[in-house]
Amino acid sequence: MPEWSVVTSTVVLTAYSQEGRINEAELLFHRMPTSDVVSTTAMLSAYAQSGHILKAKRLFERMPEWNLVSWNVMLAAHTQRFHSLEAKSLFKSMPVVDLVSWNVILNGSSLEEARQVFEVMPERNIVSWNTILSSFAQHGHLEEAKQIFSAMPEHDLKAWNSILSGSANFENFREILRLFGAMPARDLISWTVLLAANFQNGFVDRATKILERMEQRDLVAWSVMLAGLAHSGYFHRAIETFHSIKTTSTPDETCFVLALLACGHAGRVYDGYAFCTRRSRADFHSSYLSEPRRS
């Protein structure tokens, strides 16, 4: 049945898009004998998500009809590329908008514009509240962020992490501890913020214990640990930590640079030389010293 062919092709096209196989998605779309607004919107979304904004615009303009999903895909594509003027113009030209549309334009607005958009939104959900909270917290407006947090009808983990990170930027250690203790649940972001806060306030041993308590550790957490140790003057421990990363992760270039700097400050020239000579960009992720050299 032709209808089933379109549905099947659309499903496969969407799968290609999610896997980042944009060329195969494009080829499949052009080979489809017929297409409808759903399949065309799927291709539109594939272009937008992969950063092909010009192709997305051309396809959007050629569409015989648009549904709300099509409009929202193009709106999100412009905001993700920081095309604020195009996003505003598109939003104003939309025949109908929904909560998704409002949240997209809210997320793509500057701080002051976001405040105005948030105030005129006909309805809000947790995404709306988290977006405005994150905007104020990230821009250093902690008091306003606290007011928003208090006004929120509910708090999810993202909201807690936003206010926790905002407090960390002000180095308000007691407030960070209070917020962390009040959180009903915590994730890797929460623990990493607490880890960084302890280093910022000079609690190196406490930070080390926090890292040991963390059930998960990503390269961001490891980088915070390396940077914290190095900036606190614990260069040898930083090098030891670099070699511990292999138990859970593969060190990236940030970790490598931090370890190299620690070698220089610690006077461990041999280790630093070995890092440089035994690692190349091609095999960095698969070859590094198994044990640190003691000085």
Beta strands in 162-234 (DSSP E): none
**What pLDDT was estimated at residue 18?**
87
Q: How many domains does the chain have?
A: 2
On whether residue 282 sits in a domain, the answer given is: yes
On whether residue 247 sits in a domain, the answer given is: yes
Domain containing 26 equals 1-65
CB neighbours (10 Å) of residue 117?
20
On whether residue 86 sits in a domain, the answer given is: no
Amino acid occupying residue 8? T
Last residue of a domain, one of 47, 65, 83: 65
**What pLDDT was estimated at residue 8?**
84
On whether residue 10 sits in a domain, the answer given is: yes
Does the pLDDT of residue 270 top 70, yes or no? no
On whether residue 172 sits in a domain, the answer given is: no
**What pLDDT was estimated at residue 274?**
63
Of 76, 111, 119, the residue nearest 97 (C-alpha) = 76
On whether residue 194 sits in a domain, the answer given is: no
Average pLDDT over the chain reads 86
Of residues 275 and 240, more confidently modeled: 240
On whether residue 17 sits in a domain, the answer given is: yes
Contact 38/14 with Cβ under 8 angstroms?
Answer: no
pLDDT (tens digit per residue) in 65-78? 899 999 999 999 99
d(CA 29, CA 49): 16
**What pLDDT was estimated at residue 272?**
62
Tokens representing residue 261 in the block: 């700097």
Q: What is the mean pLDDT of the segment spanning 253-280?
A: 71
On whether residue 44 sits in a domain, the answer given is: yes
Q: What is the mean pLDDT of the segment spanning 250-266?
A: 81
Q: Which pTM does this prediction carry?
A: 0.81
CB neighbours (10 Å) of residue 7?
14
pLDDT (tens digit per residue) in 117-172? 999 999 999 999 999 999 999 999 999 999 999 999 999 999 999 999 999 877 78
**What pLDDT was estimated at residue 290?**
44
Contact 282/270 with Cβ under 8 angstroms?
Answer: no
d(CA 127, CA 172): 27
Does the pLDDT of residue 286 top 80, yes or no? no
